[in-house]
Structure 1
Amino acid sequence: MPATHFDRFLAESVTPQRDSGTGLGRDGLYGLYTSWCLINNVEPEEPASLWKALKKHGIAAEHNNLNMTGPAAADYIISSAPDLV
């Protein structure tokens, strides 16, 4: 099965947490995804499509153990808190 842009997003933008915790919630995951799409010139799909893709990978949209990583994480953080810059 060919890789989808969701596969690339997961490979490039999330990593498992080392410590147990709540991980990213729906807002954080979708915000990170839209930042990744912007950086990669990919048209973002609706949130339901992302949740479906995550489920195929065994990842829950809520209560996962994912952290942000990579350029999309930096973009999302800066976009979310422009006063920090």
Structure 2
Amino acid sequence: MAASQYDQFLQEATTRDPEADRALWRNRLYGLYSRRCFLAQAAPRSEDAFWAAMKIKRIHSQRTSLRMRGPAAVDYMLASYAGLV
């Protein structure tokens, strides 16, 4: 079975981190997902669809233990903080 777009996103752009103060929350996780889609030249699904899929994977918007990693993380940071570059 082929991995879903969401499985690929979680595998390539996130890592688990038990330190909650550095974890991704709702807006940043969806932002990272949309940047990863941009890099993969794929159309991101709606935010509602994204969170429905994350709920199935037991990833909740207010208490993730995920951190950014990989090329999507770099792209997200550069896009979010363009004034710093």
* TM-score of the aligned structures, taking structure 2 as reference length: 0.90
> Contact 1:36–1:72 (CA<8 Å) still a contact in 2?
yes
Cα distance in 1, alignment partners of residues 46 and 5 from structure 2: 13
Q: Deviations over 1:5-42 (max 9, x none)?
A: 11100110111114243621111011101100000011
In structure 2, the residue matched to 1:69 is 69
Counterparts of residues 1-85 of structure 1 (less than 5 Å): 1-21=1-21, 23-85=23-85
Cα distance in 1, alignment partners of residues 43 and 33 from structure 2: 10
* TM-score of the aligned structures, taking structure 1 as reference length: 0.90
Report percent identity of matched pairs.
Answer: 36
Cα distance in 1, alignment partners of residues 80 and 71 from structure 2: 14
What CA RMSD, in Å, does the superposition of the two structures yield over aligned residues?
A: 1.4
> Contact 1:22–1:64 (CA<8 Å) still a contact in 2?
no
Query: What is the SS of the residue equivalent to 1:21?
Result: helix
Report the count of equivalent residues: 85
Can you give the 5+ residue segments of structure 2 that lack an aligned partner in the other structure? none
Over 3 Å off, 4+ runs? none
